Structure 1
Amino acid sequence: MTVYGYARVSTDGQTLDTQRAKLTAEGVERIFAEKESGAKTDRKALQAALKALKPGDLLLVTRLDRLARSTLDLLNSLDAISKAGAGFRSLADTWADTTTPHGKLMITILGGLAEFERSLILARTGEGRARAMARGVKFGRKPKLSPFQIEEAKRRREAGESQTNIARSYNVSHQTIGRL
């Protein structure tokens, strides 16, 4: 079992020294550190730490907000750790310890709440779309051709002109003309 650490600060003015000292005192063998905003989900050192994890390893952070800024980001990171067969622990947040049954329970509850919140968002979004459609709002891409151009292109096609020639005159692909 290897114990890895992850340390992060948001700005160049901050220092990683305190986090490094705490992680080292806990027996961390390798620390992945970076100066990146927690709002970024594609942090290089975090990705490297997640890739390094093997079954039985442990990823340690000093505080939960060093790993993630949002519940969704946290759950995605914890899922990646779990899929690697590794554990996770936060020094300041003792409940966030996937190596204990209590910690696993707390993470499961958080996951359930996040899933519930996501379903509420989807329901509200769907209702909003339905109301907008009832008001005549059109969704999706704007048509490449106007109704007049569509009718004209159909007439030209029926007259025997090739799809490619018609498409070139409207600056669209021949598939667009074919779908008409």
Structure 2
Amino acid sequence: MTFTCPDIAYTVNKVSQFMHCPMDTYWVAVKRILGYIKSTSSHGLFLSHTTTTLLHGYTNFYWGGDVDDRKSTTGFAIYLGNHLISWSSQKQHVVSRSSTEAEYRALAVATSELTRLSSFFRDIGSFNSSTPILWCDNLSATYLNVNPIFHSRTKHMVIDFHFVRDKVHAKSLSICYVVHMIK
């Protein structure tokens, strides 16, 4: 269900973490998820014919949001034109020491998915020459790609940093800042 209903992915993930020791509160949560699925069964993702083939994505994170272990949650959504084609929400494997680090880990995961999708579309011959864009709402993480002064402060996340930076320098990815708007 989480593949076809991205809106429940985080909740299902959270409840699944306690399958080894289920309690009544988790059973109540599972019943609420099932009730939500039943009431929204007519909703879904709509794909229509479009001439836009721009591949772009959005990343976000929830820094230290898990109260049990203070690990951050990474999320991304990848679009082909106006159509959502890939998404993920997952807990990071390590505790991030800063919001910039958490966001940069999210950028690395999304960059990997954008790279995979770009390669797939190129292999089937249906990809245009425009550079994919990855939108990020953390200004510090965005600046890490162009400002080498930050490097000494980011030794604890060097692999993710170099992976994303190499894609940007090779012009196979562009990272842009998006202003987070609260309604």
User: How would you bin the TM-score normalised by the shorter chain?
Assistant: under 0.3
TM-score, length-scaled by structure 2: 0.26
Q: Which has the larger radius of gyration?
A: 1
Structure (1/2) with the larger helix percentage: 1
TM-score, length-scaled by structure 1: 0.26
